A and B are shown apart, each in its own frame.
Chain A
Amino acid sequence: LTINMNRFNPVLPVDEYLVETNVLFYLNDALTQLLEHKEEYTQFGVIRYFAEYFSSVKNSNHVLFREYNYIKATPHNRASFIKVFWRCFRQIGRSGDVLSMQEYSSVLQLLCPDFPVELVQSAARIVLMDDAVDYLMSFADFLYAFQLLFYYHEFLASVLTIYQDLLFGKSPNTVIVPTSIAVEQLPLLATEENTSQELQEGVEASTLAECINGLCDRFKQSYPSRTCMLDVLEQSPKVTYYGFLMGLAKHDAINTEIGALPNRSDVLVDPEMDQELLKLISQISASPGSNSSGSVPGGLRESQKKASPRRSLHHRRRMEVESDGSTEETDSSES
C-alpha cells in the first residue's frame, strides 16, 4: 500500500528537472513573445498573459500559426502540432476526400506557414511506398505516416543513413550525427537509378535491426520503442526503408506512445462537428428552398476522384447525410 509512488523516486536535481521538462524553453519563448508583441499583450496585465500562454501550451493550441522551428522544438510541441492538424482537418477524411502530396503540404502550411515540403514528401513516400509521389492519399494514411516522420524525425533520418549504407554495402558503423540535413537526402534515394532487384527488395531485416539497436544505445533524442521496431522488422526477411516506416506508422503501440491521436479506427470520430452538422441540416430541411430529388448511392463514390480541399461546405453536408443513411435531404446537383 503505497500512498504516493513519487516519493520513492529520487528527487531530480533542479537543473535536470528544468531541462528535462523543457520549462526554460517555454519561459524563454513566453518572454520573447511578450517583448515582440508588448503593446498587445501587456494591456491585460502580464500575469494574465502568462496564464494564457501556459494554458495554451497545456491544451496544445500554442503551436497554431507558429514557425516551424518552434513547432518542432519539443516532443510536446510536435505531439501538439499533430493533434491540431488532425482536429482541424479530419473533415477531409470524413468526406472521403483523397489529396495529393502538394495539397497536404498546402494544408499543413495553413497551420505553419514555413512547414517544409520535404517532410510532406517523405510522408507521402511512406504511404505510397516510394512510388510516384503524385498519387492521392487518404487522410488517415497520410496522418499516421506524417505523425511518425514528424515526431521521430531525427531518429528516422539516422535510420535512413544506416539503411543507405547497408544497401550500398558500406559499413553502417560510421558515426551518425542526427541533423535535419538528412531529410534532404531523402529524394536522392528515389531519383537515383535504383531499378535493380537489390534496391527493390531492400536489406536484411535482421542486420538492420542490429544496427538500429546500436543506434538506440547512443541516440539522445526520442525514438520509437525498440520492441515495436523489432516487431516490424521480424515480419519479413528483407525490408525496404519505406516499408519499415510503413510498418511503424501502422503500429498502434507507437501511436499510443506519442499520445496525440486516437486509434486508427476512431480517427474520424468527431461528435462536436456531428452535432453542428445535424443542426445545420435541420435548419436546411426546415427552409422551403430545399429540394429533395433522388438520393445518391454510396457515400464513398467520390473517393476515387481527385478532390479539392476547398470543396464547398454544402457538398460536405451532403456527404454527411448520405453516410447517415438518411435520404431526406440529398441534392443530386453538383454544387
Chain B
Amino acid sequence: MAEKRRSGGTAVLPEVKPTQSESDRLLLSQLGVGELLRGAILKMVEARSDDPIGFLADHFCNLASVSESAGTPGVSDGDQVNGVPSACAQEQQHLNRALWHLRLAHHSQRSAFSNNLLLAYDLLSHPTSGCPGAGGGVRGGLYTQTLQCLCSEGGVPASTSAPLLRRLHCQAHEAVPYDLFRQGVLTCAVFSDYIRQAQRLYAQVGCPAEGPASRALCLAVLGTLQEALETSQGPGANRYLEASAKISSHKVAQVMARGGRAPGPGGNMDAKEFENAAAELFIARVRVVS
C-alpha cells in the first residue's frame, strides 16, 4: 500500500489550502487521527526508543491487529469488546496486549515501566467478563503464563527459567494482587537481563570458538558472582556500590588469574552448565511470598 504511494506535487509539506483545511481538519477529527497520534507519540516519548520509527511501526501494527480482531475499526486503546469471539481467544488477545505493554519500556525506566505494568495488570484482571472490576485480580494461571512468556521473550531457555517459575508459581484459581504481579514481572525481567549477562560472561571466560571453558576458571568467576550477590544488607546505594566493586573487571581478572593457577577441579564446563549455575545463584535469592 505504501509502495503504491505516488505524489503529484514536489513539496514535502504542502500548505493545505484554506478552503480545504477546514474539511481536512473535520475529516481527521472524524477519523480520530489526533487522538491516535497523540497516544502514539506519548508512548514513544515515554519509552525513548532508540528506534522510534520501528517503535511506531510496531505500535500501529499492534493497534491495527487489535482493532481488526475486535471488529471495530477506529481508535481503540481501551477495551472494545463487541461481538466476543470466544473467551479463550479473547484471553489470548489480552495476554498479547499486556505483553506488548510490558515490552515497551525497559524496567530500568521506572516510571514508564510502572505505567505499562499497571495497564497490563488492568488488561489481565478482567479478561473474559468484559466488565471492569469483576475479578479480584489476575488469575493465577494467566499470571504464570505471563511470566513464562516474559522469560522466553527475554531469551531465557525454558529449562533455565523453569526453576524460577516454579518458585513464583501460583495456583490457577488464585487471584494475584497487583503488588505480587508487579514483583513477579519485575523478577522475570531482571532475571532475563541477568541470564543474558551470564551468557556474555561465559563467552568472556572461554573462547566459544575453541570449545568449552575450563571448569576451574568458571568456578572462580561464579564464586565472584555469588559474593557480589550476597552483599550485606546495608542501605540501597551502598549495597550497589559494594556489589559492583566485587564484580569489577579488575576483581574478576584477579580471581581468574588465581583460579587458573590453583590446582582445582579439572575438565571443562559447558555454557549450559554455567548458565544453570548462575541462574541458581539468582533463584536462591528470590523470596517466596506465601
Contacts and interface: CB of A to CB of B under 8 A. Distances in A.
The DSSP consensus for interface residues of chain B is: helix
Contacts of B37: 27, 50
A37 B12 CA distance: 15
Contact of A35 (B10, B27, B75): B27
A38 B30 CA distance: 13
Contact residues on B (Cβ < 8 Å of other chain), bracket: 35 or more
B28 interface: yes
B67 A45 contact: yes
Contacts of B4: 65
Contact of A7 (B1, B27, B54, B109): B109
Given A35-B16, A45-B73, A64 B3 contact: yes
Interface of B: 1-14, 16, 24, 27-28, 31-33, 36-37, 40-41, 44-45, 48, 50, 52-54, 56-57, 59-61, 63-64, 67-68, 73-75, 106, 108-109, 190, 193-194, 197, 201, 244, 247
Contacts of A64: 3, 5
Interface in A1-29: 1, 3-4, 6-7, 11-12, 14, 17-18, 21, 23, 26-29
A52 B6 CA distance: 15
B7 A33 contact: yes
Interface of A: 1, 3-4, 6-7, 11-12, 14, 17-18, 21, 23, 26-29, 31-38, 41-42, 44-58, 61-62, 64-70, 73, 76, 114
Contacts of A68: 10
A45 B197 contact: no
Nearest to B40: A50
8 contacts: A3-B194, A33-B5, A35-B24, A46-B33, A48-B64, A56-B2, A69-B12, A114-B10
Given A6-B106, A69-B10, 16 more contacts: A3-B108, A6-B50, A17-B45, A23-B56, A28-B13, A32-B14, A36-B7, A44-B1, A46-B33, A48-B60, A50-B40, A51-B57, A57-B57, A61-B3, A68-B10, A114-B10
A187 to B, nearest CB: 23
A44 B74 CA distance: 10
A21 to B, nearest CB: 5
B289 to A, nearest CB: 24
A67 B5 CA distance: 11
Nearest to B192: A3
Nearest to A28: B13
B248 to A, nearest CB: 9
Contacts of A32: 12-14
Contacts of A17: 45, 48, 52
Nearest to B27: A38
B108 A6 contact: yes
B64 A67 contact: no
A70 B64 contact: no
A11 B201 CA distance: 28
A41 B33 CA distance: 13
A4 B106 contact: yes
Nearest to B54: A58
Contacts of B2: 52-53, 55-56, 61-62
